[in-house]
Amino acid sequence: MTTTDIEALLEARGALLRGHFQLASGRHADTYIEKFRILQWPDVTSKLCELVADRFRGETNLVAGPTTGGVILAYETARHLGLRSIIAERKEDGEGREFKRGFEVGPGDRVLIVDDILTTGGSVRDVIAAVRERGAEVAGIGMLVDRTGGRVDFGVPFFACLTVDIASWRPEECALCEQGVELVVT
């Protein structure tokens, strides 16, 4: 699948929306990604996870994803690779993530971290820390969509099925507001 195919696929399922949106941060943008419009479809999710799996095949022995979307993506990517998939959950104090539920991960493991949308990289960094806390190595990061335009560097091999650069503005500087385009609150 080419970038154009992936973009068309996400648009067709309503996951990649164009218009005028108010983001959770309060800023306005012309593009919005509704990730569960894709994650609710096993067929499409599976195809995208196969791209991630193909990129890291032979370089990893264990896949990990953060809750919530990352759980689905890690599981499906692991299925393509014939590997185990584990979940990184928030620590009880809310600071960072950890592997609970008796998941085994430790020295010698080369963990592929998979997640849905890269915005600031916060949850991926928390999973990297959780992997290293266990003495395991991070083999790479696989994302569904990198919406930073490739600006985040985790210092390990990185792959995104789709890279988009979503510009956002303060409401008072928003050209779409000025043009009177109807605002959708996300």
Stretch that binds Zn ion, among 22-30, 48-56, 63-71, 75-83 (CB under 5 A): 22-30
Task: Return d(Cα 94, Cα 97) in angstroms, integer.
Answer: 8
The HSE-up count of residue 145 (CA atoms within 13 Å, CB side) is 23
| Minimum gap (Å) between residue 79 Cβ and Zn ion | 41
Q: Does 23 bind Zn ion (CB under 5 A)?
A: no
Angle at the Cα of 55 (from 110 to 155), degrees rounded to 5? Answer: 55
Q: Which of 17, 156, 166, 177 binds Zn ion (CB under 5 A)?
A: 177
Q: Does 176 bind Zn ion (CB under 5 A)?
A: yes
Cβ distance to Zn ion smaller for residue 104 or 173:
173
Cβ distance to Zn ion smaller for residue 92 or 178:
178
| String of contacts with Zn ion for each residue 115-154, x by CB under 5 A | ----------------------------------------
DSSP secondary structure code for residue 173 in this structure: G
| Alpha helices (H) in the chain, listed in sequence order | 3-12, 36-39, 42-56, 69-81, 122-133, 175-178
Task: Return d(Cα 53, Cα 70) in angstroms, integer.
Answer: 14
Q: Which of 16, 28, 66, 161 binds Zn ion (CB under 5 A)?
A: 28
Q: Does 29 bind Zn ion (CB under 5 A)?
A: no
Cβ distance to Zn ion smaller for residue 17 or 177:
177
Give the number of residues in contact with Zn ion, rule: CB under 5 A.
Answer: 4
One-letter amino acid of 165: D
Radius of gyration from C-alpha coordinates of the chain? 17
> Which stretch of DSSP H or E encloses residue 159?
strand 158-163
Binding site for Zn ion (CB under 5 A): 28, 174, 176-177
